[in-house]
Amino acid sequence: MAEARSPSARVRVPLPTRGGYRTAAEREIDSRLLRHFLAVAECKSFTAAAEVLHLTQPGLTKSIRKLEQILSVKLLERHRTGVELTPCGETLASRARLIELELAHALSEIDAMKGGLAGTVNVGVGPSFINCVSQAVLALQVHRPNVLVNISVAVMDSLLAGLLSGGFDIICTSLEFPSYPEINKEPLSVGEHLVVSAADHALQHRGPVSPKNLLAYPWVAFSRDNMGIGRMGAVFAANRLRPPRITSTTNSIEVMFDLVTKSNYLASIPASLSAKALAAGLAELPVKSALWQATLGIAYRTSAQPSAPLQAFIGACREVCRAANLRHP
Query: Mean pLDDT, to the nearest integer, of 163-179?
Result: 90
Closest CA to 191 of 178, 203, 175, 179: 175
Whether the model clears a pTM of 0.75, i.e. scores above it, the answer is no
Q: Helix count (H) and strand count (E) of the chain?
A: 12, 11
- Model confidence at 1: pLDDT above 60: no
- Report the CATH fold assignment for 190-293: D-Maltodextrin-Binding Protein; domain 2 (3.40.190)
CATH class of the domain at 21-98: mainly alpha
> Is there a common fold for 101-189+295-323 and 190-293?
yes
Q: Would you list the DSSP string of 63-83?
A: HHHHHHHHHTS--EEEETTEE
Q: Would you list the DSSP string of 135-176?
A: HHHHHHHHH-TT-EEEEEE--HHHHHHHHHHTS-SEEEEE--
Domain locations in the chain? 21-98, 101-189+295-323, 190-293
Could you report the per-residue pLDDT of 89-121, keeping only the tens digit for each? 888 888 888 777 777 767 766 766 665 556 789
Could you report the per-residue pLDDT of 183-229, keeping only the tens digit for each? 999 999 888 889 999 999 999 987 889 889 999 999 999 988 888 88
The CATH number given to 101-189+295-323 is 3.40.190.10
More confident residue, 143 or 200: 200
